[in-house]
Amino acid sequence: KQEVTQIPAALSVPEGENLVLNCSFTDSAIYNLQWFRQDPGKGLTSLLLIQSSQREQTSGRLNASLDKSSGRSTLYIAASQPGDSATYLCAVRPGSDDKIIFGKGTRLHILP
Amino acid sequence: GAVVSQHPSWVICKSGTSVKIECRSLDFQATTMFWYRQFPKQSLMLMATSNEGSKATYEQGVEKDKFLINHASLTLSTLTVTSAHPEDSSFYICSASGDRTNQPQHFGDGTRLSIL
């Protein structure tokens, strides 16, 4: 059974710092991995989608990497800003069907 | 980009009322839609998967008679919480994906349901 773990559960960093959020999954057979952002009381915004054949994706200040063999993904945020404060969710789509499995998220707080 | 619209965003009603939540894909055809439930500071819990024109597939422990799902067209799915009670109060989120395996899921903004 696929399980997705995100560490840390919460993180506070000063504005301007670069930071890394971690995601690990137990079964390396995946179709893709997706990083989402969720603001309080809101739905999810897709940030980056990495296909199983890819190693990384970049969008602006965000870079996500995927190492299937070790069951790990990282989300790198460069030059953090207060507006980056949110919960970041990692989600894995298993190889067998459409259902995606979420981690519990990392609550990020960027200190002005 | 793809947009999923969810309505209403917030509803408060009395115990025993049935509440319908709509999920629409605005600029793409959603062959599959998903309904999630989220408790405060928890991650999303998948409730059911619906495919256009067929019955929804419910996750273990989710009452299909309590949470009625209809996916009558490629752009609309509805979730009806029947005879809602305070324990049904939660944040409900839908998502939709197109017809290609590696398409991302796009999420609505969620519906906060409060049952008095």
Residue type, B108: G
Mutation target vs A (from B105, B111, B113, B114; most A CBs, 10 A cutoff): B105
Identify all chain B residues contacting A5, using CB atoms and an 8 Å cutoff: none
For position B1, what pLDDT does the model report?
A: 58
Mean model confidence pLDDT for chain A: 93
For position A41, what pLDDT does the model report?
A: 84
More confident of the two residues A8 and B41: A8
- DSSP 8-state code for residue B105: P
**A:29-58 residues touching chain B, CB 8 A cutoff:** 31-32, 34, 36, 41-46, 49, 51
Identify all chain A residues contacting B95, using CB atoms and an 8 Å cutoff: 44
For position A85, what pLDDT does the model report?
A: 97
For position B42, what pLDDT does the model report?
A: 84
Rg (CA), chain A: 13
As a whole-number percent, the residues of chain A with pLDDT over 90 amount to: 80
| Span B51-70, average pLDDT | 91
The three-state secondary structure class of B116 is: coil
Q: State pLDDT tens for residues A59-110.
A: 999 999 999 999 999 999 999 999 999 999 999 988 756 688 999 999 999 9
More confident of the two residues B102 and A99: A99
Cβ count within 10 A of residue A72: 16
| Span B74-88, average pLDDT | 94
Contact B49 A99 (CB under 8 A): yes
| Span A44-67, average pLDDT | 94
∠ at Cα A34 (B111, B102), nearest 5°?
Answer: 100
- DSSP 8-state code for residue A3: -
For position B102, what pLDDT does the model report?
A: 62
B8 upstream amide cis, omega within 30 of 0 = yes
Is residue B49 less than 8 Å (CB to CB) from chain A? Answer: yes
Distance from CA of A14 to the nearest CA of B (A): 23
| Span A4-15, average pLDDT | 95
Cβ count within 10 A of residue A46: 17
For position B34, what pLDDT does the model report?
A: 92
Mutation target vs A (from B44, B49, B54; most A CBs, 10 A cutoff): B44
**B81 to A108, B15, B39, B108, B113: CA distances (angstroms):** 33, 11, 16, 18, 10
Nearest to A98 among B32, B93, B110 (CB): B32
Identify all chain B residues contacting A51, using CB atoms and an 8 Å cutoff: 102
Contact B109 A43 (CB under 8 A): yes
